[in-house]
Structure formats: C-alpha cells, structure tokens
Amino acid sequence: MTSVPETSSNVCYRHPDRQSYILCQRCGKTVCPECSVQAAVGVHCVDCAREARQGGQYKRRPAFVRAARSAGRSSSTPVVTYAIMAVTVFVFILQAIPGLGVTGALQFAGAYVQPGAGYSVGFEPWRMITYALVHTPFAISSPFTILHILFNMYSLYIFGRILEPMIGRWRFLALYVISAVGGALSVDLLNGPGQPVIGASGAIFGLMAAFFIIARKLGGNTSQLIVLVVLNLAIGFIIPGISWQAHIGGLIAGGLVGLIYIETRQRQRQPAQILLTASVLALIIAATVVRSLV
C-alpha cells in the first residue's frame, strides 16, 4: 500500500496544481479529468484532440464521466481495494476454523468502549476497525450465510475500482477506515452496549456516500446511486439482524471525507485536506471518549 510520489509527471500539464494519474493515449502527457477528452480508444489531451478534430470525432463529456472512465482505464491498479478484500477473505477463512474464536476476538459492541456499561469485557477501541473485517461465519447448515461477505466484497470491488484510482491509494484507505470507525461510533451511540456487530457494510456505505458527493460535484448523474443507497438503508430497518446504525454512521463519515476530498483537490490545498481528514477521525475519537465517560 504505497502511494505514487508527487513528481512533475503526476500533475496535469495544463494545471500544475492538480495531481493526476491519467495519461494521454497519444502523447503520454498527464491530464486531469477536466483536460481529458474521450476518444474512440482511450483518453486524449485537449491538444491532441484539437489536432485530430477535423471529422468531429471527439465529444466532450461531463467531468465526472471523464474522470470515471479515465480511472477505469488508468494503469494505477487499486491495490488497496484488493488488499482489503484479500485480508477480509483471509479472516473469513479463519472464522471457519473451530476453536480459534476469530469472530469474538474482532467483533465490536459499545461495551468495548464503555468501561462503565457493566459488561465483563476490557477497553478495546481497536475493534472499531476490526469489526469491518469479519462477517457472518459460513455454516454448512445454512450456506446462504456466505452472501454477507459476497455482497460486501462485490460492493467494495465496484466502488474501489473507480474511487481508488480517482482519489489515490492513501486517500482511499483513509476513507475506508474513517467510514468503518464512523459506523462503529454510530453503533456505540444508537445501539445497546451488549449487542455485537460485524461486517464491512458501514465502510461500504461510506464509499457510496463519498462517491455520491464526488459525482455530484463533477456533474455526474447520481439518481441511480440515490436509489441504491435508500434501498440498502431501508433493508437495514426492515430485515432483523442488520445493523442500520453502522450504515448511517458510515454514510455520514464517508460523506464528510468525500466532501473534503473534492473541495480540496487542488495541489496547494493538500495540507488543508490532510488536516481536515484527520479532524474527522479526531472528532469521531473524541465523541467515543466522551461517550465512554457518560
């Protein structure tokens, strides 16, 4: 999980304050989404597009469409997405081994950050992250339990392949972790302290929220995403055993981080982006500490 160094080749040739990993398929220059033109094959810079525009071959698309298509064709492999998926699947396999107690060791409940809740458990705040790595253990008597991890990993695969190349590896990792922690905080505030939760859905909702914010800001059509989010939220309220609290917390945390990313995407605002992103995490930690003292 290493980020690509910010060198002169990683900034748009027309906007040196904008970091990008999209290359013109003709001349190889780095272009930001605003300066990319969708061609029949790949993406071209505006200069190459201008030279070959005699027959009207190029058609400008909304900034979000250009960014999403370019991210999909980018050589920047979403290694963080794949790494999270690999770790989650590995933990799922460990859960199936009798006697290891992996699920109980990684799950989260409010009691783990509420010393005065009256439960015989220790103060283990790291569970606010680890719970996103465990899912409903596979059971031969009920093989459909595997749908829990399959649905979450498929969603992570879909959104990760678009978001990670678009915003960068470390930003994507921060978004995923903060969304998971935000979901845990919501569970801590809205759920009973003795009710454990597991699953990556809180973090997945954070990715959905960030994707929605970024798409809206870049002019993308988000109507289908709204329907998807509303349906998944509704399922959490209708079907027993689903933690809607984690969904709401992840949605809010991911939306905040996505808004920070898109509003501070200029290179000169990177320090502010780091500070604001860290502030969201610090705010969640502070709220958890205050909650533990109540």
Q: Do β-strands 43-45 and 36-38 pair in parallel, antiparallel, or remain unpaired?
A: antiparallel
Report the C-alpha gap between 170 and 161 in whole angstroms.
Answer: 14
User: Minimum mean pLDDT among 10-19, 34-43, 78-87, 261-270: which range?
Assistant: 34-43
For 105-130, what is the mean pLDDT? 92
Given a cut of 50, is residue 72 above it in pLDDT?
A: no
Report the C-alpha gap between 10 and 13 in whole angstroms.
Answer: 9
Q: 282, 111, 81, 281: which is closest to 200 by C-alpha?
A: 81
* Higher pLDDT pick, 220 / 150: 150
Residue 25 is predicted with a pLDDT of 74
Residue 36 is predicted with a pLDDT of 79
* Higher pLDDT pick, 138 / 57: 138
pLDDT tens-place string over residues 20-60? 767 777 777 888 877 877 765 567 788 887 777 655 544 45
Residue 5 is predicted with a pLDDT of 38
Given a cut of 50, is residue 260 above it in pLDDT?
A: yes
Given a cut of 90, is residue 205 above it in pLDDT?
A: yes
CATH top class, domain 79-293: mainly alpha
pLDDT-derived band of residue 70, with 50, 70 and 90 as boundaries?
A: low
Domain layout of the chain by residue ranges: 8-73, 79-293
pLDDT-derived band of residue 1, with 50, 70 and 90 as boundaries?
A: very low
Report the C-alpha gap between 129 and 171 in whole angstroms.
Answer: 17
Tokens coding 199: 């699953």
